[in-house]
Every structure is written in C-alpha cells, then in structure tokens.
Amino acid sequence: MSPCDSLRRLVSPYLDGELLGEDRADFEAHVQSCAACRASLEQERAVVRAVQASLPLYQAPAALRERVAELARRPADAQAPPAGGRRYGRVRLGGVALAAAALLALAFGGALLQRGPRAASPSRPAGAFASLAVDTHLRHARGQLPLEVRSELPAEVSGFFDGRVPFHLTLPAYPVGPGERKPYRLVGGRLVAFQDDYAAYVAYQMEERPISLLVTSSERVRPEGGEAVVQGGLTFHIESVSGLKVITWTDKGLTYALASDLAVTGSRSCMVCHGSAEERRKFEGL
C-alpha cells in the first residue's frame, strides 16, 4: 500500500476535525506535496460544503410540532402517545428500558465527549465554558459546525433563539455613524449542547476573522482563571486557550464567552454588542 492509500483514508476525519496533533500536521504536509491527495481532499470538501450550504435540510411539520408540544406538557406518568399518532404499532422493548439503554450507550461515548475532543489541550486548565467557546469557535472556523440560522440581521438571529434557550437574547445593531463602515458582520447562530441544556452560539466576522459569542444561563458556570480585569462593575477573565483569546464574564444571570484569534484585540471583539462610542470606552482596557 502506498503512503497515499493510507493517507487518503484520513481525508474524512481531517475534514471532520477528528484528526489531531501530529497526525493532522503529517496529513497537511503530505497534501501540500501530493497533487492527487490534494484533489481527493478538495473533492470531498466540495461535498461537505454542498451539504452545509443546503442546511437546514428538514423541518418538522407543524402537526408533529403540536403533538410533541402536547407530550411535553403531560406529566411523566401519562406519556402514552396522543391520539392520531403511532402508525407502526407497539414496540416490544418498554420505553423506559430503552431510554435507560440509550443513556448507558452514551455514558461511554458521551462522557468522553463532554470535554470537547476536537479542541487541542489548553496550556492550562480553562473553565468548561471557555473551553466550549474555543471548541465551538474552532469547529465553526474550520467549516465543521453548520449554523442553524444564517443572517446578518440581529432580529432574525435573536428570533431563532426564542423558545430554544431559557433566556431572551437581543443582539443589538451596530450604530453606524456618517461615513463609518460597520467593523464586523453578523453571520448567524446555532444551539450548542452545554451541560444538560443549550447555550446560544453567535458567529461574527471581523475583517474576515471569525469571532464567537457563547451565552448560557447555567448557574453552575463561574468565569475563572486567566487575567481578571474589572471594568464597569463587571469582572472579565481574559485568557489564552489553544491559541485563541477568550474573555468570559457573568452579568445579570447570564455567562458569556467571547472567543477570537489573538490578532483581534479583545476590545474590538466587544464591539459586536457595544458599538456606540460611549459604550466602547467601557472596555478599552480589555
């Protein structure tokens, strides 16, 4: 088997962000020097992009949405499927047993995953939420994390999160002054699993560099570590994780993590929410 045969099997894991460390570097070095493998990579990348460009592929019909909402309102001991449902008869294994089996199956694979296997190990321990922000940022930057809503309109992206996360997220529009160009662009958002709930992930672009904002209402998250900077009555924790700059802070029951690469200064990334000149002064030191 030629080196190309074995390396070409790594195209999928490479594109999916499952190839890490030395293996990833070796693969990239080979692709640089081998036109045939490069062509394979580009062909498969085109398919991945086509899938991503067509998302979301499916949306549950309104009638099903209503039936599920009705189930969600029932107490746990009254969970027979509502009338009109179940066209394929009874299932042998009890629902409860099956749910427990699913939990066991995931305990093995899932537990490993909570730490975000795709993120390179941070040089020092980062908080779980900061790590998730970095992992999410990197996956999105590599094109491995499809967005569920794509829009430059803050209201559309905010609207997507309504009812999907336990808080209301209002993304402000940047106040553009005369002759001024908006320094960043809203790209879209998606839900990201965090603990037993969802965090809101919002993607921005600033000068072609991605900036990620992650928001959770979990009370178990405490921003910590890194350099603590107090500004405007809030404590911001600024740290470098896997070569990215991450700022975490808590305000009014919500915890935020803002991730960007080191070339974007922290204070510039804050502009995505605080665009006015007056507000910008509040975080000049970050």
Partner 1 sequence: MERAEARPAETGDEAFRRAAVACLDGLYGFALALARDRRVAEDLVQETYARAFAAARRPQPGENLRGWLFTILGNTWKNERKRRRPEPVADVESLARSRLEDPEAALDRRELRERLRTALAELPDAFREVVVLRCVEGFSYQEVASIVGCPAGTVMSRLARARALLRHSLGAIRARRPGRVEA
Distance CA 135, CA 29 (A): 23
Instruction: For the CB of residue 55, give the shortest distance to partner 1 in the complex, in Å.
Output: 6
Task: Name the nearest CA neighbour of 258 among 285, 280, 235, 239.
Answer: 239
**Distance in Å, CB of 262 to partner 1, minimum:** 26
67 three-state secondary structure = helix
Assess whether the previous peptide bond of 56 is cis (omega < 30° from 0). Answer: yes
> Taking the C-alpha atoms of 11, 12, 17 and 22 in order, what is their torsion angle to the nearest 10 degrees?
-40
Q: Which is nearer to partner 1, 198 or 204 (CB)?
A: 198
Binding residues for partner 1 restricted to 83-142, rule: CB under 8 A: 85-89, 91-93, 95-96, 98-103, 105-114, 117-118, 139
Binding segment (CB under 8 A) for partner 1, from list 166-174, 203-211, 241-249, 260-268:
166-174
Q: Does 285 bind partner 1 (CB under 8 A)?
A: no
CA distance 87 to 143: 39
Of the candidate residues 23, 231, 254, 261, the single one contacting partner 1 (CB under 8 A): 254
Comparing CA positions, the residue from 213, 48, 219, 218 lying closest to residue 143 is 48
Residue 175 makes contact with partner 1 by CB under 8 A: no
Minimal distance, residue 198 CB to partner 1, in Å: 6
Question: Cβ of residue 123: shortest distance to partner 1, in angstroms?
Answer: 23
Distance of closest approach, residue 273 Cβ to partner 1, in angstroms: 6
Q: Is residue 58 within the footprint of partner 1 (CB under 8 A)?
A: yes
44 binds partner 1 (CB under 8 A): yes
Ranges within 256-275 binding partner 1 (CB under 8 A):
256, 273-274
Rg over CA atoms, the chain = 22
Binder to partner 1 among 20, 120, 191, 229 (CB under 8 A)? 191
Interface with partner 1 includes 177 (CB under 8 A)? no
Burial 198-214 (b: 16+ CB within 10 A, else e): bbbbbbbebeeebbbbb
